[in-house]
Amino acid sequence: MQVVTRVNPTVRAAGIVALVVTALLGSAYVLGRSLIPDQPQQRKTTGVTTNADGPYYADQPTEATPSAAPSAAPSAAPSAAPTAGRSAGPTEAGQDGSGRDAGGGQLFGAHTSTGTPRLALTFDDGPDPRYTPQVLAMLREFDVKATFCVVGENAQDHPDLIQAIVDGGHTLCNHSWHHDVTLGNRSADMIRADLLRTNEAIRAAVPDAPIVWYRQPGGAWTYPVVSVAQQLGMTPLHWSVDPQDWDLPGASKIAATVTSQAEPGSVVLLHDAGGDRQGTMDALRRILPDLTARFELEALPTDPT
């Protein structure tokens, strides 16, 4: 005998209502999630005080911010023969393998390390008749060789100081003609002309000087400026320790930043021009005894490989 089970109409209605409410809640959740923007991934930090994402590292803080995209890609071949040396492949030191530094800044292969246990001091924006001789004297006192990233117009104005840098056994680095932070956003021809003009000013003072390094003002690297520099036989040079001496934090803070962050292979950014650098000079007097006791210091090689 077949048993027929009757469902109470009230129970059936309650079940239908529950199903409808459940469906509505699920739809509302999906709709709500679609309206929430994706959260960006948090960037890794390295402890390096510089921010390569910015258009400048503030030794020229009043320059206009460059646009996101370069105005032109470099041509396949340079318009002039390489000036010296040969370009080198990018080092992976200080990078995550993606062409960025660990902090997220685009470096396009610019070197952030010496690639050896040795540490490199670099001095930007000179030569300057007041401060560059002080730097040279202190380096000579401690028997240290360094790298000077010189601005073309300053090299033209002070050829005797370019000669003094070379005579001291230090390495020269091209730092553009007029410290143009936006240079990397200009056409390949304009970039090439700027770099060649700077090299010519350096060679007017020291005809046989090897110039195999290029540092972009502000660390505002772009693919075109890196590519043109390499075509001209220069290796892009960034840094890994930046005490921000451009901001006049005082000798104690400059010295503390450098001595605490320095490690084997570090490239230290300092300035011997571009403003009041007495704080840097005073800090250097404290930095050199500490670093020479802990590291071998070197001028970057004039034949990078």
The predicted-structure confidence for 210-223, as pLDDT tens digits, reads as follows 999 999 999 999 99
Q: Of residues 170, 242, 271, 272, which has the active-site annotation?
A: 271
In whole angstroms, give the CA distance from residue 2 to residue 186: 89
Domain spans, the chain = 120-294
Annotated catalytic residue 124: yes
Overall average pLDDT of the 254-282 stretch: 98
The CATH number that domain 120-294 falls under is 3.20.20.370
**Cα 102 from chain centroid (whole Å):** 11
Residue type, 223: Y
**Digit-coded pLDDT (tens) for 157-168:** 999 999 999 999
Closest CA to 187 of 215, 221, 228: 228
Residue with tokens 């300035």: 271
Of all helices (H) and strands (E), which one includes residue 174? strand 171-174
Cα distances (Å, whole numbers) of residue 87 to 29, 227, 229, 304: 56, 10, 8, 8
**Residue 115 backbone zone (phi > 0: left; psi -120 to 50: alpha; other: beta):** left
In this prediction, residue 118 carries a pLDDT of 98
- The rounded mean pLDDT for the chain is 77
Annotated catalytic residue 158: no
Tokens of 247: 């901001």
Query: Is residue 56's pLDDT more than 50?
Result: no
Overall average pLDDT of the 93-114 stretch: 62
Query: Is residue 98's pLDDT more than 60?
Result: no
Q: Of residues 124, 125, 180, 242, which has the active-site annotation?
A: 124
**Digit-coded pLDDT (tens) for 5-43:** 454 555 455 555 555 555 555 554 444 444 444 433 333
Give 271's pLDDT tier (boundaries 50, 70, 90).
very high
Overall average pLDDT of the 165-184 stretch: 97
Give 106's pLDDT tier (boundaries 50, 70, 90).
confident
